[in-house]
Structure 1
Amino acid sequence: VIIRRGNKKAYTITPIQEEKMEITPELQAEIEQAEADYRAGKCIVLETREDIDRYLDSL
């Protein structure tokens, strides 16, 4: 699946096989850290399409 944004930006969503979805201990640690960061308010809130566009354009 290809998602296009404007004329010069595109993103892909790639299917993966279920057996490759194993959560390793390293990935689990990253997930737990991300959840802690979210609970602590260390995240970006994008409420409108314009917010999303501005954020993606800044990357």
Structure 2
Amino acid sequence: MKKAIIAVLVVFLGFWLFTDPHGLATTAKDVGGAAWVGVSALFTKVIDFITDL
């Protein structure tokens, strides 16, 4: 089942890459930026927690 889901995901991303590469790049940039903000906030909260101990 996992292999089928991964295969469908790869086919979808490949299709997206060939049909709209700019849209895929923009989406990847936005997702990466949001992930970085989330990870940064998480580490800031962990540092604040450890400091308060």
Q: TM tier, shorter chain?
A: 0.3 to 0.5
Question: Greater strand share, 1 or 2?
Answer: 1
Higher radius of gyration, 1 or 2:
2
User: Larger % of helix: which?
Assistant: 2
TM-score by length of 1: 0.36
